[in-house]
Chains A and B, each alone.
Chain A
């Protein structure tokens, strides 16, 4: 048997047994695990076999969290591995926009359903550009772009919807409701399982959030595939203008500015005199100006300067 035949047979087996794969992604503190537990328990109550695996523990907000849920009929014993292979998720549900974009390759190209909150949680390492007024480097893909790419896509501002409902923390329940519209389970079972997971006293708001998310799919919109999302952030260098005035005859080639510039944008030319090697990288921090013992560098800000805390 060639490798192709084995693969084809394996595909056939999977397809026959109707394993469904749901991938839930987000960042720490958003309730990824809660959604996957609700789904897993619901599958169990329906008499299905279910496997769930997750990466969690990102208790500090911002860490990546994901959870794979695979389920199918017990009889066929169809769920072998607890993780979803690339390109085989039937539903990808993202609680954070950039995470949704990142995990997109796991979604089935032909039939996959993409559900994402357009909420953006911008991690510290996206703020590497230390220019004054710099925009963070964040996923530039807009929801309409992504929703247009997948076979079935929903991008909703669940965070704002939950806030309007009265509890911002119910955003994950809204997304769970949206998910429920793509899976074939009775509504009452969804609600009763959900009730076992939500904190005491929030049953009612979570029920409403769930229904809101579920109905959102059905609500007629002008173009359901293109909801009005938060606009993506531009990565273009904002209009800042720093000018370095170098007095060549005063420079004594001591190298202090070259070695201590945080952006490494200075060097010494062939005459061992300082020059601005990379003008675009200079943030105007003034460290070279302060530490040059020979006053050979003056930093001029053409745009308003933030006050220095020092």
Chain B
């Protein structure tokens, strides 16, 4: 072998091989998202020992378990809360939260807005497949209108959240979105998120092929992957005031930046100041 790149990305180096193959259904987009995440970690040269993955409940929650790093599989909707504590206690760790649309926006919606507001240096990867897949396909906050799920047999009548606009409005430092089909672009976006000092919220459009795709007649796995493209508009910016809910066409890339002081830094300076005063008094 005469590979030109000295350290080519080999995904096996980052997987818990004894757990493979993973439990996800055939064609599930979460696997592609996992590849992009590990690829980004590799390209940034992040040491596995310094990497902490926190994930919640659901299909997305299982994704973290396959990563050969420090991983936490925590209660439903609470990965951001756990990650906040972890990052404050161990600022030297690179903390990544892997969560899903239900975990992040419904059960953990409250934690999300406050994590955005705080701007602690965490990268939140929300894998959005528009459904609660693991529990049998119930409607989620991002299920598109008119879609069929087990709890919306006549078609969903609630508007879907635009998670990126929510995060932006709540003050997240960096907000971006990408589809799994554009794997290298997704890797680039995750790299930006990981390099960003502050809270980065990244929405990854993933496919639930077996439950959501089947119920809504969206075609086979390959067709669903290709359909992502027709939904996409690559120009990065739209005015978030225009539409509070997800527009028909997806805008991908970095959608918002809100550079503010990182919370952990501020917190530690305050703590040091307080301790310093205490020392003086003693």
A residues contacting B by CB (< 8 A) are: 249-250, 252-256, 258-260, 290-295, 298, 300-305, 308, 310
Min Cβ gap A77→B in Å is 63
Closest to A305 in B: B4
Q: Are B184 and A252 in touch, CB under 8 angstroms? A: no
B209 at the interface (CB under 8 A from A): yes
| In the complex, chain B residues 3-41 whose Cβ is within 8 Å of any chain A Cβ | 3-5, 10-12, 15, 20-22, 24-32, 35
Please measure, in the bound complex, the distance between the C-alpha atom of A307 and the C-alpha atom of B180, giving whole angstroms: 21
Contact of B185 among A259, A298, A305, A310 (CB under 8 A): A310
Contact of A254 among B3, B22, B185, B209 (CB under 8 A): B209
Taking CB atoms, residues of chain A closer than 8 Å to B223 are 259
Contact of B4 among A253, A292, A298, A304 (CB under 8 A): A304
6 additional A-B pairs beyond A259-B220, A294-B24, A295-B20, beta carbons within 8 Å, are A255-B221, A255-B222, A293-B27, A294-B22, A302-B1, A308-B184
A250, A252, A258, A301: which has the most chain B beta carbons within 10 Å?
A: A252
Q: Are A292 and B31 in touch, CB under 8 angstroms? A: yes
Please measure, in the bound complex, the distance between the C-alpha atom of A295 and the C-alpha atom of B10, giving whole angstroms: 10
Contact of B222 among A258, A302, A305 (CB under 8 A): A258
Closest to A250 in B: B21
Min Cβ gap A300→B in Å is 7
Q: A249-B21, A291-B183, A295-B11 are in contact. Are A260 and B222 (CB under 8 A)?
A: yes
B204 at the interface (CB under 8 A from A): no
Min Cβ gap A7→B in Å is 58
Closest to B32 in A: A293
Q: Are B24 and A293 in touch, CB under 8 angstroms? A: yes
Q: Are A250 and B185 in touch, CB under 8 angstroms? A: no
Size band of the B side of the interface? 35 or more
Q: Say what secondary structure dominates the interface of chain A.
A: loop
Q: Are A302 and B2 in touch, CB under 8 angstroms? A: yes
Closest to B224 in A: A256
Q: A290-B184, A300-B1, A301-B3 are in contact. Are A254 and B20 (CB under 8 A)?
A: no
Q: Are A291 and B32 in touch, CB under 8 angstroms? A: yes
Please measure, in the bound complex, the distance between the C-alpha atom of A250 and the C-alpha atom of B31, giving whole angstroms: 12
B residues contacting A by CB (< 8 A) are: 1-5, 10-12, 15, 20-22, 24-32, 35, 180-181, 183-185, 188, 209, 220-223, 225-226
Closest to B38 in A: A295
Please measure, in the bound complex, the distance between the C-alpha atom of A208 and the C-alpha atom of B28, giving whole angstroms: 70
Min Cβ gap B42→A in Å is 14
Q: Are A295 and B31 in touch, CB under 8 angstroms? A: yes
Please measure, in the bound complex, the distance between the C-alpha atom of A310 and the C-alpha atom of B15, giving whole angstroms: 24
A253, A256, A304: which has the most chain B beta carbons within 10 Å?
A: A256
Taking CB atoms, residues of chain B closer than 8 Å to A259 are 220, 222-223
23 contacts between A and B (CB under 8 A): A249-B21, A250-B21, A254-B221, A255-B27, A255-B221, A259-B222, A260-B225, A291-B32, A291-B180, A293-B31, A293-B32, A294-B22, A294-B24, A294-B26, A295-B31, A295-B35, A300-B3, A301-B3, A301-B4, A302-B2, A303-B2, A304-B2, A310-B185
Q: A253-B26, A259-B222 are in contact. Are A294 and B185 (CB under 8 A)?
A: no
Please measure, in the bound complex, the distance between the C-alpha atom of A292 and the C-alpha atom of B28, giving whole angstroms: 9
Please measure, in the bound complex, the distance between the C-alpha atom of A253 and the C-alpha atom of B15, giving whole angstroms: 21
Q: A254-B221, A290-B183, A302-B1 are in contact. Are A260 and B11 (CB under 8 A)?
A: no
Please measure, in the bound complex, the distance between the C-alpha atom of A119 and the C-alpha atom of B28, giving whole angstroms: 52
Closest to B28 in A: A293
Min Cβ gap B63→A in Å is 11
Contact of A293 among B29, B220, B226 (CB under 8 A): B29
Q: A260-B222, A293-B30 are in contact. Are A298 and B10 (CB under 8 A)?
A: yes
Closest to B183 in A: A290
Please measure, in the bound complex, the distance between the C-alpha atom of A292 and the C-alpha atom of B180, giving whole angstroms: 11
Min Cβ gap B150→A in Å is 23
Q: Are B184 and A310 in touch, CB under 8 angstroms? A: yes
Taking CB atoms, residues of chain A closer than 8 Å to B3 are 300-301, 305
Taking CB atoms, residues of chain B closer than 8 Å to A258 are 222
Q: A291-B181, A293-B29, A310-B185 are in contact. Are A255 and B21 (CB under 8 A)?
A: no
A249, A260, A290, A304: which has the most chain B beta carbons within 10 Å?
A: A290
Taking CB atoms, residues of chain B closer than 8 Å to A250 are 20-21
Taking CB atoms, residues of chain B closer than 8 Å to A249 are 21
B35, B209, B220: which has the most chain A beta carbons within 10 Å?
A: B35
Please measure, in the bound complex, the distance between the C-alpha atom of A258 and the C-alpha atom of B22, giving whole angstroms: 20
Closest to B210 in A: A254
Closest to A308 in B: B184
Please measure, in the bound complex, the distance between the C-alpha atom of A250 and the C-alpha atom of B34, giving whole angstroms: 15
Please measure, in the bound complex, the distance between the C-alpha atom of A36 and the C-alpha atom of B186, giving whole angstroms: 56
Taking CB atoms, residues of chain A closer than 8 Å to B226 are 260
